[in-house]
Amino acid sequence: MYDIYADLHVHIGRSENNKPIKITAAKSLNFANIAKECVERKGINLVGIIDCASPYVIEDIENFLKTGEAYEIEDGGIIYKDKVCIILGSEIETSEINDEGKTGSAHNLCYFPKLADIKAFSNEMSKHIKNITLSSQRANISAYELIDIVNKYNGILVPAHCFTPHKSFYGNCTDSLRKIFKEKYDRIPAIELGLSADTFLADKISELETKTFLTNSDAHSLPKIAREYNEMKLDGISFKEFVMALKNENGRKIVKNYGLDPKLGKYHRTYCEVCDKRIEGEAPVTKCDTCDSRNITMGVYDRIEIIKDKEKTKSPAFRPEYIYQIPLTFIPGLGGKTIEKLLDHFGTEMTILHKLSNDDIEAVVGEKIAKNIISARDGKMHIVEGGGGVYGKVE
């Protein structure tokens, strides 16, 4: 067994023949480029591409396999250059009704072992989704129904960015995942924390004590891949090994979660839509301290204060360490050119953020930038919290 790095939430912008998949994602984000970026730049060994149920993407995957550059394996997943395993995924928005009878919507990450499985899933979901070619589309079914369809095609379901205000279970639908999934709750092996939350916040909710936490990038462009990732102990890279790690089976597990300081996330604190500002103050903030308006976008930090059922964070024994990382793009003084220079020298962002010494970095980009990178690593930078769709800032 050995440790690998995994990012299980990467979007596709366009198909190879330039059909839009996710409108807000970069055009360069296609299936082949993601595989290459993971191998050449990011040091990612397991990547979940989350728009693979689009028939246009399925066509791209079939063509990619025909080139012989990549191949599907028996245990599930597509291997590229013997270095990265691509997990075929689909993000589905479900329609939920909360305790008060209001409607909400939540994103679900669905992962499948084989191309044939996700093809069959795509075909069935086209009955529930208006435009199956686009990313993260709303289905007219609930997650309680969706999980059966996912399991039917040998897949697993993981609630996505679980606490974000607009499209998530805790943010938008419920104070308890168990209420949504009922007797099927144990079929969910993991949840995704999202950029605005971390282990310390999520482990204030006791029903999550049996779930593995995933830290993924939700990347909409190539450079953002691996801004959050998971270190996993596996015996080879495949869908089967990935699922075993989520279930903590036979020594497979997540060893470490690497994620943003949640203060940097764009939904960390509550935001007033009238005054257009992040609201300071003790959580939970539920109305504006300036104009008194309740026209707010609830922060993840504030939402967890409302729904938590533990006074203090208490993590189960198996919970891995959560390590904060500040991606290069957040570090003051680092423009595109400097980042390019660092990557050319040192290969991957992971190496730069976690492994290099001050002297190594200084030799390439000078004293000031080296100091900033090391201070960010040591948690010595001041962070202005994010909210309302605006990322936090490092100062």
Residues 6+ apart with CB under 8 A from 190: 158, 211, 212, 213, 214, 246
Is residue 275 at the binding interface for Zn ion, with CB under 5 A as the rule? yes
For Zn ion, give the closer residue by CB, 70 or 272.
272
Window of 21-29, 176-184, 264-272, 317-325 that interacts with Zn ion by CB under 5 A? 264-272
Burial level of 261, CB count in 10 A (0-12/13-18/19+)? Answer: buried
Task: Label the pairing between strands 212-214 and 190-192.
Answer: parallel
How many angstroms separate the CA atoms of 142 and 146, rounded? 6
Binding Zn ion by CB under 5 A: which of 147, 272, 352, 370?
272
For Zn ion, give the closer residue by CB, 1 or 274.
274
Q: State the nearest-atom distance from the C-beta of 92 to Zn ion, in Å.
A: 10
How many angstroms separate the CA atoms of 145 and 201, rounded? 29
Q: Which two tokens stand for residue 172?
A: 């938008």
How many angstroms separate the CA atoms of 157 and 159, rounded? 7
Q: How many residues bind Zn ion (CB under 5 A)?
A: 9
Binding Zn ion by CB under 5 A: which of 11, 14, 42, 107?
107
Phi, psi angles (nearest 5°) of residue 205:
-115, 115
Is residue 269 at the binding interface for Zn ion, with CB under 5 A as the rule? no
Is residue 288 at the binding interface for Zn ion, with CB under 5 A as the rule? yes
Q: Which residue is nearest to Zn ion (CB)?
A: 288
Rounded to 10°, the helix 143-152/115-125 angle is 140
Task: Label the pairing between strands 2-10 and 46-49.
Answer: parallel
Q: State the nearest-atom distance from the C-beta of 298 to Zn ion, in Å.
A: 14
Binding Zn ion by CB under 5 A: which of 210, 290, 357, 358?
290
Q: What is the CA radius of gyration of the chain?
A: 20
Window of 23-31, 75-83, 154-162, 301-309 that interacts with Zn ion by CB under 5 A? 154-162
Window of 14-22, 116-124, 266-274, 311-319 that interacts with Zn ion by CB under 5 A? 266-274
Window of 141-149, 156-164, 191-199, 379-387 that interacts with Zn ion by CB under 5 A? 156-164
Q: State the nearest-atom distance from the C-beta of 93 to Zn ion, in Å.
A: 8
Polymer length of the chain: 395
For Zn ion, give the closer residue by CB, 17 or 293.
293
Q: Does residue 160 contact residue 107 with C-beta atoms inside 8 Å? A: yes
Q: State the nearest-atom distance from the C-beta of 345 to Zn ion, in Å.
A: 34
Is residue 364 at the binding interface for Zn ion, with CB under 5 A as the rule? no
Window of 49-57, 96-104, 173-181, 271-279 that interacts with Zn ion by CB under 5 A? 271-279
x/- string (CB under 5 A) for Zn ion, residues 29-48? --------------------
For Zn ion, give the closer residue by CB, 275 or 323.
275
Task: Label the pairing between strands 271-272 and 190-192.
Answer: unpaired
Residues 6+ apart with CB under 8 A from 156: 110, 111, 150, 187, 188, 189, 243, 246
Q: Does residue 286 contact residue 270 with C-beta atoms inside 8 Å? A: yes
Q: State the nearest-atom distance from the C-beta of 25 to Zn ion, in Å.
A: 12
For Zn ion, give the closer residue by CB, 149 or 288.
288
Q: State the nearest-atom distance from the C-beta of 303 to Zn ion, in Å.
A: 16
Binding Zn ion by CB under 5 A: which of 291, 309, 336, 366?
291
Nearest to 213 by CA among 267, 154, 284, 262: 262
Residues forming contacts to Zn ion in the complex (CB under 5 A) are: 107, 160, 272, 274-275, 288, 290-291, 293
